[in-house]
Structure 1
């Protein structure tokens, strides 16, 4: 859902063009139309995704997938009037729950392969940037920092984690300090990554809801 759209119906993750994608989730509902069936599929990573399956006369004799059913969807990502959906080539009901675990492992493996080069570059080609204020923590930024939109929220989380770890102040680092050090990012993106880090237990708020510190200290 956060993959940048590089052209009409073309999306990318880490400069890798998305072609065919697979999704495993629960059908939350469906709506029949004259030429297609639209499903609401929830894979637990965000809001339910709209999945469209075009139908011909022979397909109308098939029974639609009822809500509460686990399915695997194979299709391509589309953007119509600002709403993203998956144009399904195949929708299959999952009968063996081991498929869900297998899909999770595939997602983790794909994530590791996609971001391996990004994180490697972050470690090897990092540049030390002098702090704007001597009493504030020094920030380490990478050469990929100038293209945050191409790397998604995980890149933001990784950079924010480094910033928070480097802070030695008792009250932690303030939201405004984070914004000044990451001035190429929007406040919305910074807040989103902070929410993720708090929910995962990596950081916590200190004197108020605008100051944060790493839980690893």
Structure 2
């Protein structure tokens, strides 16, 4: 069925909706959605928004191998291939003229995980990366593909909205138990909740995290921060010691 004919019923008794009937009625994936390159290339597009199986996607994660890269002054473009379709360009903003960034570019042949947002310019799709990290264990490729299959099954279940409300909505990610179910440890969960609850423009500082989490060592806090950055859940703001949630 074409994307324009897609309908999803939230729960018994509720009216059905189309993803193109207005933003207030759209079903959106507000957290990170695992995808393949093929899915991103075939996603339907409507007014700068992209849809997979009728669901508007926000952030996505992709795993693949770098075939080549092209450096520019302010960013690097990687060609990412996950063998599900034609490779996809991934743009990562970085100042290559900064001496501290020497050796920052990841070489071809490396397997990476990218967290980012899909964009289209002059009919050419690319992924703007929030986070790129090299895989330490190739089992992560299998794990990612299983997550892609799980997300696909959840999105296409007959009770899709009920399932999405339980597993894939922004509100649910604020729940400690569900965060742990998503692979967060107890420490990562607590650090993320504090960062997410901070309303300051510059985000929360490491010092404030230490004050609030007196029972947690600085080492554990830093490890949790690194994990959350790598997975695309948070980002640094004014400096390397202030952080905000990405959603």
TM-score by length of 2: 0.45
Q: Structure 1's 53 and 112: CA in aligned 2 closer, same or farther, altered over 3 A?
A: same
Partners of 1:5 and 1:98 in 2: how far apart?
32
Separation (CA, whole Å) in 1 of partners of 2:78 and 2:100:
15
Gaps of 5+ in 2: 1-40, 161-247
SS at 1:117 equivalent:
coil
Q: What is the match of residue 93 of structure 2?
A: 54
User: Which of 147, 152, 160 is the matching residue for 1:106?
Assistant: 147
The residue number in structure 2 matching 1:37 is: 76
Deviation at 1:118, TM superposition (A): 9.2
After superposition, the Cα gap between the structure-2 partners of 1:59 and 1:74, relative to the gap in structure 1 and judged at 3 Å, is farther
Quote the residue 2:65 is aligned against. Answer: 26
Quote the Cα distance in structure 2 between the aligned partners of 1:93 and 1:111. 25
TM-score (normalizing by structure 1): 0.51
1:17-54 per-residue CA deviation (whole Å, 9 max, x = no partner) reads: 11000000000000001111000000111011100001
1:58 positional shift: 6.7
Determine helix, strand or coil for the equivalent of 2:50. strand
Work out whether 1:13 is the aligned partner of 2:52: yes
SS of the residue 2:117 aligns to: strand
**SS of residue paired to 1:47:** coil
Q: Deviations over 1:74-114 (max 9, x none)?
A: 00000011100000001100011111111011011011112
Gaps of 5+ in 1: 120-217
Aligned residue pair count: 118
Once residues 59 and 49 of structure 1 are traced to their aligned partners in structure 2, the CA distance between those partners, rounded to angstroms, is 28
Following the alignment from structure 1 to structure 2, what is the Cα–Cα distance between the partners of residues 69 and 85? 19
Find the counterpart in structure 2 of residue 74 from structure 1. Answer: 115
1:14 Cα deviation after fit: 2.3
The aligned counterpart of 2:136 is 95
SS at match of 2:92: strand
4+ long deviations beyond 6 Å: none
Q: 1:81 to 1:59 in 2, by over 3 A?
A: farther
In structure 2, distance between residues paired with 1:58 and 1:106: 38
Residues 98, 84 of structure 1: alpha-carbon distance in 2 compared, 3 angstrom cutoff = same
Judged with a 3 Å threshold, the aligned counterparts in structure 2 of structure 1 residues 85 and 4 are, in CA distance, closer, same or farther, namely same
Give the Cα–Cα distance (whole angstroms) in 2 for the partners of residues 27 and 101 of structure 1.
17
